[in-house]
Amino acid sequence: MITGDAAYIKKLNRSSIIRNIIKEGMISRADLSKVTDLTRATISVQVADLLAEGLIVETQLEHNSVGRKPIMLSLNGNAGYALGIDLDSGKISFILSDLLGQPVSTKSVELKTNDYDKILPILIEAIKEFLKSTPESEYGIVGIVIAIHGLVSKDENIHFVPRLDWSNIHLKADLEKEINIPIYIENNANLCSFAERVYQHHETEYLLCTTLYSGIGIGMMMNDEFFRGHDGFAGEAGHMIIVPGGKPCNCGNKGCWEKYASEASIFDHLSSTRKIENLTYDQIQAWIESGDEEVIDLMEQLLYYLSIGLNNLINMYNPDTLVLESELLRIYPDSLEKIKANLSSSTSHYQGLLISPLGKGAVVLGACALAIKNFLDVPMLNFTLENDA
């Protein structure tokens, strides 16, 4: 039994009620009392408060049986919005979602510089445009979460971003001087893992998500919490050395995993050898479908080195679900089966290995979901996308 002062208990009860309303989608007061193990009187008081605040709405269901029509409770998705931002080398991506995590609008801004002092005003201007254009609601934009492809400390300072060559950047503090909305800074792989947990794998307790885009990062959800490590830097598996004395990496080491198994390693190689500056997935897919030997060899090497790193991660963390975030894996035939065939160690145990259906939208969806979670002050969210991200 939970004990404590009245305000603390009320806060816990409110959190439990909101979480279960979201989890069920629609639920009656009576059923809410059962799943939360709270008295009907407590449910009645809390629900009245949430209705007055505009956070939930009532819906009266039609039914054919005799008696009173059931009144169902659901979260009011239109009460506010969340802004998720993916800040990467070359581009900033945005998604505005409602409070049910459904995308409302998207935007991307191309970057022709890695200079922080030039990117900061671009980011501020884009955020202010969203503030102006967001539909009117009770709470407006409830939070902004920005994904960073690098090391983010527990106090949300940016320690290092290899592809942008940023060190010790205080983006959160700089934005708070201009934007009067709660702002959070988080590692991109963590947000991808959060999106997978929120939108896809509602019952997973140990989820490990590996992102392969601009580098390699891993995000780990363990019992609905991020696994961050001592300073918050856990998950930089891309800098695990798999080829001693191998290719030099921006981190200062040689032979890092992401130099051999990230999408960037493929794009960088083909851009260089084929003299193409803005290489696209469609071009690579066309080469794969035509049987281009160089591209096929590069993809097979990627799968080989990817499997080595995944084998290490599986043995270290023993996840029940392992999700791969990669567009190249989606377009390369039988990629998942080939990876599984390479994970043949008798000590490697996992329940599910799959390629994420969320695609590159995972990171910004995860960012929106984290902003909503923080606003509602609940331990976890269970959403389902109405349409593909």
Instruction: Give the pLDDT confidence of 176-205 residue by residue, as tens digits.
Output: 999 999 999 999 999 999 999 999 999 898
pTM for this model (two decimals): 0.91
Question: Are 309 and 239 in the same domain?
Answer: yes
Could you tell me if residue 161 is inside a domain? yes
List the structure tokens of 168: 């010790």
Q: Which residue has the tokens 């208990």?
A: 9
Mean pLDDT for the stretch of residues 133-157: 95
Q: Are residues 59 and 107 in the same domain?
A: no
Domain count, the chain: 3
DSSP letter, residue 248: B
Task: Identify whether residues 12 and 23 lie together within a single domain.
Answer: yes
Query: Please, which residues have CB within 8 angstroms of residue 48's CB and are 6 or more apart in sequence?
Result: none
Determine the residue type at 104: V
Say if CB 136 and CB 79 are below 8 A apart.
no
Range of the domain at 242: 203-356
Residue 305 pLDDT exceeds 60: yes
CA separation for the pair 64, 47 (Å, rounded): 26
Tell which of 53, 75, 97 closes a domain: 75
| Residue 385 resides in a domain | no
Asked if residue 315 lies in contact with residue 348, where contact means CB atoms within 8 angstroms, the answer is: yes
| DSSP run (H or E) holding 28 | strand 27-28
Of 75, 95, 112, the residue that ends a domain is 75
Q: Calculate mean pLDDT across residues 243-256.
A: 92
**Phi, psi (degrees; rounded to nearest 5) at 58:** -105, 140
Q: Within 13 Å of residue 64, how many CA atoms lie on the same side as its CB?
A: 0
- Residue 216 shares a structural domain with residue 335: yes
**Helix orientation angle between 335-342 and 293-317, rounded to the nearest 10 degrees:** 50
* Judgement on whether residues 18 and 31 belong to the same structural domain of the protein: yes
Confidence at residue 62, expressed as pLDDT on a 0 to 100 scale? 67
When pLDDT is cut at 50, 70 and 90, the band that residue 232 belongs to is confident
Q: Are residues 211 and 234 in the same domain?
A: yes
Are 215 and 351 within one domain? yes
- Same domain for 253 and 234, yes or no, is yes
Cα separation, 325 vs 193, in Å, equals 9
For residues 168 and 269, membership in a common domain is answered with no
Give the pLDDT of residue 4.
Answer: 59
Model confidence band, residue 255 (pLDDT cutoffs 50, 70, 90): very high
